[in-house]
Amino acid sequence: AVKTKDEVFIMAEGLLKRTMETLGVNAYDVLTTFSGTTLENLRCRHPFIERDSVLILGHHVTLDAGTGCVHTAPGHGQEDYDVGLTYGLDIYSPVDNEGKFTEDVEFFNGQNVFRANKAVVQKLKEIGALLKEEEIVHSYPHCWRCKEPIIFRATEQWFVAMDKNGFRNKALDEVKRVTWIPYWGEERIYGMVENRPDWCISRQRSWGIPIAIFYCTSCRHPLAKKNIIDKVADRFAQEGADAWFSRNAEELMPSGITCPQCGSSSFEKEMDILDVWFDSGVSWAAVMEGREGIAIPVDLYLEGSDQHRGWFHSALLTGVMTRAKAPYKTVLTHGFVVDGEGKKMSKTLGNVIHPNDVINKFGAEVLRLWVAAEDYREDIRISPEIIQRLSEAYRRFRNTCRFLLGNLDGFNPDRDRVAYEELEEIDRWALHKLQHVLSRVIDAYESFEFHKVYYTIHNFCVVDLSAFYLDVLKDRLYCEKPDSRLRRSAQTVLYEILIALTKLFAPVLPFTTEEIWGFLPPKKDGQGKSVHLSRFPSVNPKYIDVELADRWEKLLTVRGEVNQILEDARRKREIGSSLEAEVVISGRGKQFELLRDFEIFLPTLFIVSHVTLEEKDVVREDKELEVKVRNASGEKCERCWNYHHSVGKNPHHPTICERCLKVLAG
């Protein structure tokens, strides 16, 4: 409480100095200081209207400006409305549909609320109640369409009561029962439902989905009994919802209805319409219910991440309120498409990429591959460079399948397939790796992680197949007898890999995989008309061999070291092709003994002509093996390109090796 020369003012302590400076008051005394709660529920007289106002407390009042005391209008703003409910204040809104004060407002009735501002200021001046008048700059709500200033006005609306009959808690329970992809979607929508206010479902528009409520014209009592709603529903089924606007109340209601409050038989229609989110929120009922073999909840809802507040939210509430359950089992949300730098696309920036442009240049399959390859849980980037990379990845996959198909020429799976136990060990390794691919891809599909589908298949094709397995197989495929067990062993596994890859990528590349399917080697019982009608592949436990995989992991480590030494020799121009080399490996211990077990196969593994193993201590203590490269001895076979001492020994075929001679001789 502050005393000036003539009056006593009550204001916030934190605003005292600023307020007095604004008013130009230098001489004042602080009489007392007390808590704001001391004033709670006291009454004050309106400056120029014979009406008392109650003093209340509100968290929305701050010390940023003013005196710490603000006018509260429960009928004209969310915060004022909320605090008004707390104190049981009337929701007083004396403004009509034209933005004019109603007859309830003394002195200013009939005036536009904005134009009345000057009249209110003048009235305060006349009675000596205005301490200071000045212009200030502050943010103010404007109409999004016409950009004119607006006021908030409380009007009667229809609401869904969130806390009646445990509705909110039921909705929260259903949120927990749904699978949310990504997982953070659950926490997001849970928080929204947990903290949301009652849902206002009515809108004041000229046309839309009507709210099928009737009012008694005498007492305004609303009628919404089941028999009345059923009659309206029957009419809508015949004529559509527009019947509400084209027919009068008597035509829409059952005969003989009277008002339970006053007994009147005269009624009028509710002309408000439903919130469009309620409309979209019940789409599950309109689309799914009544269809044979389809039940609620549906398997999947998917939309952008903004729909936790929109469609997913309204569908959840309408499902719980009408069917006591969420209308979906799984909800998947994705980010939005942005340019390569993460910027929103716009014509102004010139960074818009049209799908048709991608299709015309790269084909629809590349566009599909881009969709699958991007992690949709975040915003999805697209640019010419990104599409170009995906185009190259697509080409690698296609070329891998071309290689597989080309080397299956003449292979009949019914006749030529080699039993698993008789396969070469490297072929069994390839089947083991394939099972890991199958497992990861199947899991990725089931969890909607399509980018993992792409990366798993791409890495398998590039790293395991092209960079190793297929490269190592070339000698067997090209140089062994066409029907030899060695070649058939390789073809058996190539066939398994091709079938699996074609089926695994079919959902992403439907046309490419269908084309591949049409060139598969024929089977007695047929391959099936389409890859899309075939059974999806599954993991074969028989092909999983952990011990074998462990051995080959160690062999591949050695191969990596050998390749590095070969590359150094090639860079120094000591060798050209790796087949011009002989690899000498020295060492002792378990790693060396493993190489001993595979000694015959090592030239094939390293793609060199000779491998020599020397059991002796290595110079470097930190290494178990020492690898050296020298030029291979012997002559080059013009058929297999390996260097052999047997080349030139046969006078009839002096340019080929003994192995190739045997193959050619049959």
Same domain, 535 and 477: yes
Residue 18 pLDDT class (50, 70, 90 cuts): confident
pLDDT digits (tens, 9 = 90+) for 106-131: 888 888 888 888 888 888 888 888 88
Same-domain pairing of 209 and 293: yes
Percent of the chain with pLDDT over 70: 100
Q: Output the pLDDT for position 66.
A: 80
Same domain, 255 and 403: no
- Phi, psi for residue 218 in degrees, rounded to 5: -85, -50
Sign of CA dihedral 512, 518, 524, 529: positive
Query: Given this model, what pLDDT does residue 291 score?
Result: 86
The encoded tokens of residue 600 equal 């015959």
CATH number (domain holding residue 308) = 3.40.50.620
pLDDT at 156: 86
In the structure encoding, which two tokens stand for residue 556, read together?
């591949």
Over residues 355-382, the mean pLDDT reads 93
Q: How do residues 533-572 score in pLDDT, each as one tens digit?
A: 999 999 999 999 999 999 999 999 999 999 999 999 999 9
Task: Check whether residue 120 and residue 210 sit in a common domain.
Answer: no
Mean pLDDT, residues 354-361 taken together: 93
Q: Residue 33: enclosing H or E segment and its boundaries?
A: none
The CB density around residue 159, as the number of other CB atoms within 10 Å, is: 12
Q: Which domain holds residue 308?
A: 164-334
**Residue 206 forms part of a structural domain:** yes
**CA pair distance 256, 254, nearest whole angstrom:** 7
* Confidence band for 281, pLDDT divided at 50, 70 and 90: very high
Q: Average pLDDT for residues 182-187, to the nearest whole number?
A: 94
Rg (CA), the chain: 41
What is the pLDDT at residue 523? Answer: 79
Of 126, 146, 177, which one is at a domain's C-terminal end?
126
Residue 526 scores a pLDDT above 70? no
In a domain, 627, yes or no: yes
Token output for 127: 């009675």
Quickly tell me which residue has 């005393």 as its tokens. Answer: 3
Span 628-663, pLDDT tens digits: 999 999 999 999 999 999 999 999 999 999 999 999
Q: In whole angstroms, what is the distance from residue 317 CA to residue 657 CA? A: 79
Domain-located, residue 584:
yes
Token pair of 52 as six digits:
């008392």
* Residues linked to residue 269 through DSSP beta bridges, in sequence order: 214
Average pLDDT over residues 417-432: 97
Contacts of 614 (CB under 8 A, 6+ apart): 584, 585, 586
Instruction: Assess whether 504 and 386 both reside in one domain.
Output: yes
Q: What does the alpha-carbon distance between residue 437 and residue 431 come to, in Å, rounded to a whole number?
A: 10
User: In CATH, what number is assigned to the domain containing residue 410?
Assistant: 1.10.730.20
Instruction: Look at residue 357 and tell me if it is in a domain.
Output: no
Reported as half-sphere exposure (CB side, CA atoms, 13 A), residue 202 has a value of: 14
How far is residue 46's CA from residue 288's CA, in Å, rounded to a whole number? 59
- Report pLDDT for 25: 80
In terms of domains, do 450 and 539 share one? yes
**Residue 226 three-state SS:** helix
Which two structure tokens, joined as six digits, stand for 342?
Answer: 């993460």
Closest CA to 214 of 183, 253, 260, 177: 253
Query: What confidence score (pLDDT) does residue 475 get?
Result: 96
Residue 390 in tokens: 């995906």
Q: Which amino acid, one-letter code, is at 223? A: L
pLDDT given for residue 43 in this prediction: 87
Look at residues 579, 578, 580 and name the one whose alpha carbon lies nearest to residue 567. 578
Is the distance from CB of 209 to CB of 279 less than 8 angstroms? yes
What average pLDDT is seen over the chain?
91
Instruction: Calculate mean pLDDT across residues 445-472.
Output: 96
> Is residue 4 predicted with pLDDT exceeding 90?
no
- Position 571 scores a pLDDT of 94
330 in the same domain as 269: yes
Distance CA 325, CA 171 (A): 8
Residues across the chain: 666
Please report whether residue 237 resides in a domain: yes
The total of structural domains in the chain comes to 4
Residues 316 and 170 in one domain: yes
Model confidence pLDDT, tens digit, residues 203-245: 998 889 999 999 999 999 999 899 999 999 999 999 999 999 9
Mean pLDDT within 507-513: 97
